[in-house]
Amino acid sequence: MGSEEEYRRHTRIREEVTISWRVEGAGRYGEGLVRDISVSGVLLEVSSESQLAKGTVFSLKAAAGQEDLVIPDKAKLVWSKAMKMEKGKYLCGLEFIEPSDSIVVKMTQHVENWLARMAEAANVNILDNYFRDRNRR
């Protein structure tokens, strides 16, 4: 059996951004913490009295002060699990529902920019270590 990474359609990047969520037709809502995001979905940490059912449709919106996060407004729950160390908190794997082309383009650019920043940071670290080691000789 292959690794979980083989099943990913799109690159996921780490985030720590607060968003507002609401379960369609259920009167359940709150704020959640985005743990990672890709063009196709998001890992969202939520507080809830009980675990949500697979297939539940969420409405999503960037929280106040987080408007620079471009995120589709609808997603469905693919999986969820209780967080062991945090009672009443769940990790939810959400798949975006038919995001618009403009949002997909913006999200793709966001992911590519994040990856470029990480690569640049890694290169700076590598060069810094190289020159530090060289100067010790």
Q: Binning pLDDT at 50, 70 and 90, where does residue 27 land?
A: confident
The CATH number that applies at residue 71 is: 2.40.10.220
- Give the count of alpha carbons within 13 A of 94, CB side only: 33
Nearest partner of 27 among 1, 65, 56, judged by Cα: 56
Nearest partner of 10 among 128, 110, 86, judged by Cα: 110
Sign of CA dihedral 84, 53, 69, 6: positive
Number of domains in the chain: 1
Model confidence at 31: pLDDT above 50: yes
How many other C-beta atoms lie within 10 A of the C-beta of residue 130?
Answer: 10
Q: Among all chains, which residue has been given the structure tokens 């620079």?
A: 68
Residue-level pLDDT at 1: 37
What is the domain extent for residue 130? Answer: 4-136
Q: Binning pLDDT at 50, 70 and 90, where does residue 2 land?
A: very low
Q: What pLDDT digit, counting tens, does each position of 80-120 carry? A: 999 988 888 999 999 999 998 998 898 888 888 888 887 77
Q: Binning pLDDT at 50, 70 and 90, where does residue 42 land?
A: very high
